């Protein structure tokens, strides 16, 4: 009997322990202290127009009870979304544990003022904590409402540009502008801060009217502020038409034999004829090189490095001009058409090549059809290049003075004889070098406009 009583007591104790344990577990469950999770994407610094936000909330334990999304600005509270989630099953096991939604904020429709506004996401769970309100997670994201586009004021009055030539516009932008420049059709030319004002509001922009444009282009200034607001502004300009020469280039078997060995670095089909190899080089490698020059154009210094008229190779005859429409003939038949993007200057073989102006070396290496090439950056988008060199005397990063010797002329690349192919670029677009050798052109089109920066 005594033994049975003991067993009964032990049994009750076990039941009590298990019961207390179960009750403890149950209470821990319903009073759990884990707040729900919130993820909001994206998190923009500025709100300039209609913006989509994705909001993901979750609660593993007791599940989601309520979600409230709002925007608050200077004490004003705008509720964007309010959602209650149902309770299902004994411990809300079948309740909602994850939820994702999209909301759109439109600062104009919501009548938000310019300046700070905060996005809030508040989410409660079904825990019995906080007097039954549940655990609360508050997500807050600070933004600046800015729906006002930047302002542009043009300072330079008249702009005469030659087809294939360069232009300069001087203008002022409002202080929150972070990017501005000129569009010529789809060609973009970045502007650079240039004034003496501490706010960096005064800018200049060198732009080109590419030689291949057939219709009168649309030219305008463009600006974007930190919030992403954009604006455009037109200015007075006139583009002078220019007729480019048509040049006949006879490709002889002798010429092919002379130039093709240089291109052993370029993958050409072995079975191809010398003419086919030449055409691949003249078309495809030329295009690759044009792109490489364009990429270099983006590496220009924000400071002006050059001064005065540009230097031309001394005692040299002009063998080919900028924009020449070249027709290539082989055995009397036209086989290709390309445009010459620089000026060919010939003097005695291996003439010393002077830097056209002060600058910094951004390229000094082999460049496809152009052979050994040096590219100098003169700042604010302006660059000059020197090709077919037999010798390079400078290295990337070197600073050079106007007239300093950077190498010697030669016939590397696609060149029939010793000469210098000299080119000028505006943000990677080739322009007619003749303008930069002309002190009158520089005075009328550049210096007079730059004087406006000091006013
Ligand atoms: Zn050339």
Q: Where are the domains of the chain?
A: 34-145, 152-241, 246-432
Q: With 0.95 as the threshold, say if the pTM is over it.
A: no
- Domain covering 152-241, topology: Immunoglobulin-like (2.60.40)
Whole-angstrom CA distances from 319 to 219, 309, 417, 421 are 33, 22, 11, 10
Q: Tell me, what's the pLDDT at 254?
A: 95
C-alpha span between 186 and 202 (Å, rounded): 24
Please determine whether the domains at 34-145 and 246-432 fall in the same fold group of CATH: no
Q: Tell me, what's the pLDDT at 156?
A: 93
Closest to 299 in 3D by CA, of 358, 356, 363, 357: 363
Q: Tell me, what's the pLDDT at 222?
A: 97
Q: Ligand 1 centroid vs 425 CA: distance in angstroms? A: 14
C-alpha span between 87 and 96 (Å, rounded): 8
Q: Tell me, what's the pLDDT at 60?
A: 87
CB 89 within 8 A of CB 30: no
Q: Ligand 1 centroid vs 434 CA: distance in angstroms? A: 14
Ligand 1 is a single-atom ion; what residues have CB below 5 A from it? Answer: 344, 421
HSE of 127 in the Cβ direction (CA atoms, 13 Å)? 20
Q: Ligand 1 centroid vs 340 CA: distance in angstroms? A: 6
Q: Ligand 1 centroid vs 388 CA: distance in angstroms? A: 8
- Domain covering 34-145, topology: Immunoglobulin-like (2.60.40)
| CB contact burial 225-262 (16+ within 10 A = b; e otherwise) | bebbbebebebebebeeeebeeeebebeeebeeebbeb
- Residues of the chain where predicted confidence (pLDDT) is lower than 70: 1, 455
Q: Tell me, what's the pLDDT at 427?
A: 98
Q: Ligand 1 centroid vs 351 CA: distance in angstroms? A: 16
Alpha helices in 378-433 (DSSP H): none
Dump pLDDT digits (tens) for 189-231.
999 998 777 777 899 999 999 999 989 999 999 999 999 999 9
Residue 332's DSSP bridge partners are none
Q: Does domain 246-432 have CATH number 3.90.1580.10?
A: no
């Amino acid at each position: 009997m005594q033994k049975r009583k003991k067993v009964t007591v032990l049994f009750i104790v076990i039941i009590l322990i298990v019961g207390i344990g179960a009750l403890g577990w149950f209470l821990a469950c319903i009073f759990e202290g884990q707040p729900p999770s919130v993820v909001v994407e994206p998190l923009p610094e500025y709100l300039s127009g209609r913006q989509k936000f994705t909001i993901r909330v979750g609660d593993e334990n007791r599940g989601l009870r309520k979600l409230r999304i709002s925007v608050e600005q200077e004490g004003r509270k705008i509720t964007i979304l309010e959602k209650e989630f149902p309770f299902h099953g004994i411990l809300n096991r079948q309740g909602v544990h994850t939820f994702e939604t999209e909301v759109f904020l439109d600062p104009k429709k919501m009548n938000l003022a310019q300046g700070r506004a905060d996005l809030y996401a508040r989410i409660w769970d079904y825990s019995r904590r906080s007097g039954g309100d549940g655990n609360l997670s508050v997500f807050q994201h600070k933004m600046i409402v800015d729906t006002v586009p930047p302002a542009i004021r043009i300072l330079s009055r008249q702009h005469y540009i030659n087809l294939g030539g360069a232009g300069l516009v001087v203008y002022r932008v409002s202080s929150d502008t972070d990017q501005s420049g000129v569009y010529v059709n789809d060609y973009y030319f970045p502007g650079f801060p240039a004034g003496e004002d501490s706010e960096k509001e005064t800018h200049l922009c060198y732009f080109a009217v590419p030689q291949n444009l057939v219709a009168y282009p649309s030219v305008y200034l463009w600006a974007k502020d930190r919030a992403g607001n954009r604006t455009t502004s037109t200015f007075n300009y006139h583009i002078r038409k220019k007729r480019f020469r048509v040049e006949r280039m006879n490709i002889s078997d002798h010429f092919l034999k002379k130039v093709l060995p240089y291109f052993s670095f370029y993958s050409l089909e072995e079975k191809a004829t010398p003419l086919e190899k030449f055409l691949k080089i003249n078309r495809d490698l030329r295009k690759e090189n044009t792109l490489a020059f364009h990429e270099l154009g983006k590496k220009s210094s924000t400071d002006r490095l050059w001064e005065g008229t540009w230097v031309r190779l001394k005692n040299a005859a002009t063998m080919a001009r900028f924009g020449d429409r070249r027709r290539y003939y082989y055995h009397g038949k036209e086989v290709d058409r390309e445009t010459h993007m620089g000026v060919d200057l010939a003097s005695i073989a291996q003439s010393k090549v002077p830097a056209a102006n002060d600058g910094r070396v951004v390229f000094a290496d082999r460049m496809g059809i152009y052979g050994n090439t040096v590219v100098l950056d003169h700042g604010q988008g302006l660059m000059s290049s020197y090709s077919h060199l037999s010798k390079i005397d400078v290295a990337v990063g070197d600073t050079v003075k106007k007239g300093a010797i950077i190498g010697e002329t030669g016939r590397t690349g696609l060149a029939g004889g010793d000469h210098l192919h000299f080119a000028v670029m505006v943000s990677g677009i080739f322009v007619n070098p003749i303008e930069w050798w002309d002190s009158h052109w520089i005075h009328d089109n550049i210096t007079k406009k730059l004087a406006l920066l000091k006013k």
